[in-house]
């Protein structure tokens, strides 16, 4: 029997039976309410029933369907309401807001499940031949709008890759593994684990995202400081395009002209479908420790991270929360957690001896993994640096608590949406010398953009994914809904954050991809000629514009796409007005 | 006054006053003679005088020249015999063999020296407008045929970038440096040194190659194990194309679609001219040690290197010579060198105690650099691994001797050519699991190809540039000339080596670029669709095929280019016959 991948709930994050358990975090909602100015408890804004979702009538291209029907078995071709809605969007605010209110304008006409590379070839050739578009679909976990249909003229197929999930070969001598691209994170780790190996790629979306999706979006895992970003792990790959198969050789490095792997990595489904990849893997770490630290303020934490990068001793993971994210973390913890106790104890001393206060303190979560013989020494080296910058150790309690819940954070968006609160993120990367200026400016822009809609702003930031030259800077924001203006509120904040990245020398995203949400800034990020180069590649490998049309090529009216918000006419009009306004200087 | 870059001698490697001093290496030529079957001392084959070089009449495009003349000063435009000959070729065997015999068919019609980005823009626009081709020229040190003119229909300009040589900015906090692309290795290191920084890129060509050349060819330096290959060091760059300026942002990593930096890196001058790059730099190492080791045989040396990669403790440099290259190294040393003494002493003991012999022994040269506090520990960790695989330490004598002469090896080609001996190299990279099979097969192929021309074969190999997944495998070969058949001899060997790389799963080059010498294998390496992708990029950024035409796009008759050998009619005919023959199975 065919393998049936488990879908996430169509209207939110995670498995049907999973969600945010607020009773385990009793401090969270009171903290959020106080911060966001939420009074009382409004009626819950529950998602509409699946039957009530407005789904466009499915487009039908009879010749395409006939060709498909002749080559695939019936279990590979699905057009049910549930399948179409599940494949309509990713899991960003714009996606879930629309779905919960019953709008699935972006739904594909059909969902196809290839089971091998030949199936993919058949679909792409038939699509090219008969004027159908194809949107590759991995886990559907993207929050930048990468799987939403952008073109409605032609019939659109969502190509769900998740039945292609086998690890095909492990070379234990060379530390490489060849795997089909549709494999989910946990499945991949389990198959590699049988060989004593790990890929070492653990993005927040790990439970619900796939190898191919990671590569197509230039994903980063929590431990990228040790294992690299996904583009650093790709040794070779195969990508099926409407023009045929692109395949690279399994060699560690080459000087064979332009690196063809890098034409596929980050292509966001616009050139073809990545069907398999040979990845650099690692022996399973013998040892893992997760100490946490508290820094007297954000600036010294950033300095300490930079110093570790300079001294070439960065932990496998280091995540520095700013004061607001630290406060959120504290509110999130079970009240009796060891960290809280430790924090209380240490902070009393700190407050007394050093004269600085909790409001500026910053929580640093770290992880060290590798051979037993090395891990303790690495931690000691880092701890010595941290201490020079005023940090105190909190032990491993809060680190373990973070470990236990690290894949749960995306559930909070659903919890908040149900309570009429929008939360989302914008993240970027910049040089060490620019982190604090960018941080301060962007935080101010986000808060001002929230305040514009007349509600109290909440915004926080964490630094993670360090490199010798800089790090990722990750902003989280939340705001209470102004009924009827939710989409406008979101767009205003998102735009302010992204424009601030551009204005302050950062990039549109460090690991969330371009999608729809960051597309208006692509030309500014990679230069108009860079955009032209990407378009030239597309023209060469997909001349019929079959693959994920509209991606990576901003329309003339760059923000136009954003006005397709599926909300009330008033909201649409206001959003359109907002979006034609000049950006904040 | 304008800066005038120093040219290498037009007929060989290095400055006019530099060369191979055989008196300092009295053992070398006797060893080579014995190995290569050279008897007696034939008359030296000296290069023809510059005046006798056959130079095609310079093509003239009056409108182009008028536009150039209006925009640049006269000191930027050169058409002298010397300038044209210097810019005709790189420094591979095919280049030097032809030049020494007076053939400069590949010479450009004109040499232009831009002094800033505007100059480059002027030249490229005028070239595109008036149907002229442009070949970017850095140090001219390439040995794969990257700067030889491949098209003769249109006027060709060699664009010598070496007046653009300034380090423009150093960000000491973020460890980045922005520099103009025409800067030579030593000049770059001197300018960075003023800020306490190093790029850490030291290819064999270091003295005579430029930053832009390194990036355009995906160069690797001797210490790439510590500092990375050049593509790992590029943070941002600017490339001028006939369609305008491509520029990327100075950020450590991004998820902004296809990585535009990687469309420029390795483009070998076919898309545009890299004018500047922002590079990751490092604090100058506090400490450096260069111990050498002897392994009982090649296999155990390879195993030890792999084990260091696995244990994440690879030295900054590790270069394992196979038995023949080890013998060459020993022959190369001054007879009273410390290493020879150490080797003799140790080997006597070895031979006695362990019962294995010098003919299989392999020399491993290493370097460790970094903070004082770490270097000794790193060396100890490596040494412990090496010992497990039977290595004995030779101390730092031979390492120092290697350091002192590390940039001199290319001179040997000139010395041998003068003595009617061809020497050249082919290098690749492969997975650890494939290194020994590839090594054995390729060595056999090279030796058989040499023997086919009736002379004794000499071939050796070294392993260097290690990665977690594999390493570079670098073959050196030498053979006595059969008068009148020199080019045929070379082509036969080169083809055998490269075909062996392809047949055994390796890549066409690890760090020497595609050029003319590896072009016949490009489609096999990156797949026909990969080739199509590269062509599409070219079409988008250089629709007039102005930039280095003929590169990265194999002709239908892939080996046709190789028959343009500028030798005797007989040799041409024989080479043509050879090249249409099927490759060795």
Run means of pLDDT, 10 residues per run, chain A, 585 residues: 84 93 91 94 90 96 98 97 97 95 95 98 98 97 95 96 98 98 98 98 97 98 97 98 97 98 98 98 95 95 97 95 94 70 63 62 95 92 97 88 84 95 98 98 98 96 98 98 93 96 98 96 97 98 97 80 49 52 38
- Chain A's closest residue to B280, CA to CA, is A469
Whether residues B265 and A247 touch (CB distance < 8 A) is answered with: no
For residue A181, give the nearest of A278, A281, A277 by alpha carbon.
A277
Residue B128 has pLDDT above 90, yes or no: yes
Per-position b or e across A108-121, b if 16+ CB within 10 A of its CB: bbbbbbbbebebbb
Partnered with residue B159 across adjacent β-strands are B112, B136
| Chain A residues 80-119 with CB within 8 Å of chain B | none
Considering only the beta carbons, identify the residue of B217, B310, B541 that sits closest to A532.
B541
Touching check for A311 and chain B: CB below 8 Å? yes
Determine contact, residues B362/B298, Cβ cutoff 8 Å: yes
Alpha carbon distance A251, A578 (integer Å)? 50
Residues of A in contact with B255 (CB under 8 A): 217-220, 266, 507, 509-514
- Chain A's closest residue to B520, CA to CA, is A256
Touching check for A518 and chain B: CB below 8 Å? yes
Touching check for A470 and chain B: CB below 8 Å? yes
Determine contact, residues A166/A142, Cβ cutoff 8 Å: no
Alpha carbon distance A135, A213 (integer Å)? 12
B244 class by beta-carbon count within 10 Å (0-12 exposed, 13-18 middle, 19+ buried)? middle
- Chain B's closest residue to A176, CA to CA, is B469
Contacts of B388 (CB under 8 A, 6+ apart): B304, B307
Alpha carbon distance A176, B208 (integer Å)? 36
Which helix H or strand E contains B393, and what residues bound it?
A: strand B392-395
Touching check for B548 and chain A: CB below 8 Å? no
Determine contact, residues B127/B543, Cβ cutoff 8 Å: no
Whether residues A507 and B219 touch (CB distance < 8 A) is answered with: no
- CA angle B191/B194/B197 to nearest 5° reads 85
For residue A378, give the nearest of B313, B339, B572 by alpha carbon.
B313
Taking residues B492-499, what's their average pLDDT?
96
pLDDT confidence of residue A406? 82
Shortest distance, CA A25 to any CA of chain B (angstroms): 33
Considering only the beta carbons, identify the residue of A258, A470, A512 that sits closest to B255.
A512
Residue B564 has pLDDT above 90, yes or no: no
Contacts of B67 (CB under 8 A, 6+ apart): B122, B126, B129, B130
- The 10 Å Cβ neighbour count of residue B23 is 6
Taking residues B85-98, what's their average pLDDT?
96
Residues of A in contact with B470 (CB under 8 A): 174, 251-252
For residue A96, give the nearest of A332, A325, A411, A407 by alpha carbon.
A411
Mutation site for B-interface testing, chosen from A425, A517, A530 by largest number of B Cβ within 10 Å: A530
**C-alpha A436: how far from chain center:** 23
Alpha carbon distance B464, A190 (integer Å)? 34
For residue A567, give the nearest of A153, A94, A145 by alpha carbon.
A94
- The 10 Å Cβ neighbour count of residue B497 is 22
Alpha carbon distance B172, B74 (integer Å)? 38
Whether residues B522 and A246 touch (CB distance < 8 A) is answered with: no
pLDDT confidence of residue B335? 66
- Give me Rg for the CA atoms of chain A: 24
Touching check for A434 and chain B: CB below 8 Å? yes
Considering only the beta carbons, identify the residue of B251, B465, B508 that sits closest to A470.
B251
Considering only the beta carbons, identify the residue of B247, B526, B530 that sits closest to A527.
B247
pLDDT confidence of residue A108? 98
Determine contact, residues A225/A316, Cβ cutoff 8 Å: yes
Whether residues B253 and A432 touch (CB distance < 8 A) is answered with: no
Mutation site for A-interface testing, chosen from B530, B541, B548, B551 by largest number of A Cβ within 10 Å: B530
For residue B146, give the nearest of B204, B91, B84 by alpha carbon.
B91
Whether residues B537 and A537 touch (CB distance < 8 A) is answered with: yes
Q: Which of B89, B407, B474, B490 is catalytic?
A: B474
Taking residues B57-84, what's their average pLDDT?
97
Phi (first) and psi of residue A554, to 5 degrees: -60, 140
| Chain A residues 166-205 with CB within 8 Å of chain B | 171, 173-176
Alpha carbon distance B117, B60 (integer Å)? 24
pLDDT tens by residue, B13-52: 999 999 998 898 999 999 999 999 999 877 899 999 999 9
Residues of B in contact with A262 (CB under 8 A): 258-259, 262-263
Partnered with residue A429 across adjacent β-strands are A472
pLDDT confidence of residue A343? 63
Q: How many residues does chain B have?
A: 585
- The structure tokens listed for B251 are 């950020």
B474 catalytic per annotation: yes
pLDDT tens by residue, B305-317: 999 999 999 999 9
Alpha carbon distance B241, B136 (integer Å)? 11
- The 10 Å Cβ neighbour count of residue A166 is 17
A336 class by beta-carbon count within 10 Å (0-12 exposed, 13-18 middle, 19+ buried)? exposed
Whether residues B258 and A267 touch (CB distance < 8 A) is answered with: yes
**C-alpha A481: how far from chain center:** 24
pLDDT confidence of residue A585? 32
| Chain A residues 250-269 with CB within 8 Å of chain B | 250-260, 262-263, 265-268
Alpha carbon distance A80, A82 (integer Å)? 5
Per-position b or e across B361-376, b if 16+ CB within 10 A of its CB: bbbbbbbbbbeeebbe
Touching check for A512 and chain B: CB below 8 Å? yes
For residue B120, give the nearest of B199, B179, B75, B181 by alpha carbon.
B181
- Chain B's closest residue to A470, CA to CA, is B252
Touching check for B157 and chain A: CB below 8 Å? no
Alpha carbon distance A246, A124 (integer Å)? 14
Residue at token pair 């939710």: A486
Considering only the beta carbons, identify the residue of A173, A231, A529 that sits closest to B246.
A529
- Quickly list H helices, B466-521: 486-503
3-state SS track over A393-416:
EEECHHHHHHHHHCCCCHHHHHHH
Considering only the beta carbons, identify the residue of A176, A253, A465 that sits closest to B510.
A253
Touching check for A236 and chain B: CB below 8 Å? no
Residues of A in contact with B467 (CB under 8 A): 252-253
Out of A126-135, A291-300, B342-351, B524-533, least confident range? B342-351
For residue A235, give the nearest of A183, A285, A282, A188 by alpha carbon.
A282
Round the average pLDDT of chain B to a whole number and report it. 92
pLDDT confidence of residue A336? 64
Alpha carbon distance B64, A38 (integer Å)? 71
What does the DSSP assignment read for A525-549?
Answer: HH-HHHHHHHHHHHHHH-TT--BST
Give the full edge-to-edge strand order of the sheet including A133-137.
A77-78, A110-112, A156-160, A133-137
Name the DSSP class of A413.
H
Partnered with residue A289 across adjacent β-strands are A368
Name the DSSP class of B140.
S
- Chain A's closest residue to B515, CA to CA, is A257
Taking residues B278-297, what's their average pLDDT?
96
Alpha carbon distance A262, A179 (integer Å)? 18
For residue A531, give the nearest of A551, A512, A516 by alpha carbon.
A551
Residue at token pair 């993670």: A464
Q: Which of A113, A293, A474, A490 is catalytic?
A: A474
pLDDT confidence of residue B334? 74
Touching check for A433 and chain B: CB below 8 Å? yes
Q: How confident is the model at residue B3 (pLDDT cuts 50, 70, 90)?
A: confident
Residue B196 has pLDDT above 90, yes or no: yes
Determine contact, residues A468/B175, Cβ cutoff 8 Å: yes
Taking residues B190-197, what's their average pLDDT?
98
Touching check for A16 and chain B: CB below 8 Å? no
pLDDT confidence of residue B583? 38
- The structure tokens listed for B527 are 């797949």
- Chain A's closest residue to B251, CA to CA, is A430
């Amino acid at each position: 029997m065919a393998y049936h991948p488990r879908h996430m709930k169509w209207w939110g994050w995670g498995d049907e039976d999973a969600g945010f358990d607020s009773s385990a975090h009793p401090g969270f909602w009171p903290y959020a309410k106080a911060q966001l100015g939420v009074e009382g408890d409004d009626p819950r804004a529950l998602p509409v029933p699946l039957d009530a979702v407005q789904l466009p009538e499915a487009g039908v291209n009879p010749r395409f369907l006939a060709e498909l029907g002749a080559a695939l078995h019936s279990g590979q071709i699905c057009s049910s309401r549930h399948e179409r809605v599940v494949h309509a969007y990713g899991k960003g605010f714009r996606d879930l807001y629309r779905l919960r209110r019953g709008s699935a304008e972006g739904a594909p006409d059909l969902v196809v499940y290839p089971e091998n590379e030949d199936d993919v070839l058949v679909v792409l050739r038939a699509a090219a031949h008969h004027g159908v578009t194809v949107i590759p679909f991995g886990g559907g976990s993207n929050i930048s709008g990468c799987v939403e249909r952008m073109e409605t003229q032609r019939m659109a197929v969502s190509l769900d890759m998740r039945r292609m999930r086998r690890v095909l070969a492990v070379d234990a001598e060379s530390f490489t593994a060849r795997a089909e691209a549709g494999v989910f994170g946990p499945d991949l780790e389990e198959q590699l684990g049988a060989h004593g190996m790990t890929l070492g790629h653990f993005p927040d979306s790990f439970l619900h995202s796939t190898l191919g999706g990671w590569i197509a979006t230039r994903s980063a895992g929590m431990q990228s400081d040790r294992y690299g970003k996904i583009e650093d792990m790709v040794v070779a790959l195969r990508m099926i395009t409407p023009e045929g198969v692109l395949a690279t050789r399994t060699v560690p490095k080459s000087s064979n002209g332009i690196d063809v792997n890098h034409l596929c990595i980050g292509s966001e489904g616009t050139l073809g479908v990545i069907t398999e990849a040979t990845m650099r893997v690692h022996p399973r770490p013998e040892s893992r420790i997760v100490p946490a630290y508290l820094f007297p303020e954000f600036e010294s934490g950033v300095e300490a991270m930079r110093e570790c990068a300079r001294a070439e001793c960065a932990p496998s993971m280091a995540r520095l929360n700013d004061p607001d994210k630290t406060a959120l973390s504290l509110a999130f913890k079970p009240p009796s957690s060891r960290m809280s106790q430790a924090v209380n104890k240490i902070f009393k001393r700190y407050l007394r001896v050093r004269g600085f206060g909790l409001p500026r303190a910053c929580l640093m979560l770290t992880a060290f993994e590798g051979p037993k013989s090395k891990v303790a020494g690495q931690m000691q080296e880092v701890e010595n640096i941290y201490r020079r910058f005023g940090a105190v150790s909190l032990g491993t309690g809060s680190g373990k608590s973070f470990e236990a819940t690290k894949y749960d954070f995306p559930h909070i968006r659903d919890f908040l949406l149900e309570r009429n609160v929008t939360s989302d993120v914008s993240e970027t990367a910049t040089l060490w010398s620019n982190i604090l200026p960018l941080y301060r400016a962007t935080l101010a822009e986000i808060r001002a953009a929230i305040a514009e809609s007349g509600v109290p702003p909440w915004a926080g930031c964490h630094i993670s994914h360090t490199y010798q030259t800089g790090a990722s800077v990750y902003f989280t924001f939340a705001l209470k809904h102004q009924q009827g203006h939710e989409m406008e509120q979101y767009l205003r904040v998102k735009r302010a954050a992204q424009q601030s990245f551009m204005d302050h020398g950062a990039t549109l995203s460090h690991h969330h991809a371009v999608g729809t949400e960051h597309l208006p800034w692509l030309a500014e990020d990679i230069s108009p000629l860079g955009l032209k180069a990407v378009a030239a590649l597309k023209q060469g490998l997909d001349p019929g514009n079959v693959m994920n049309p509209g991606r990576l090529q901003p329309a003339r009216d760059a923000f136009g796409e954003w006005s397709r918000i599926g909300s009330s006419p008033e909201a649409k009009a206001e959003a359109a007005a907002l979006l034609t306004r000049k950006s904040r200087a």
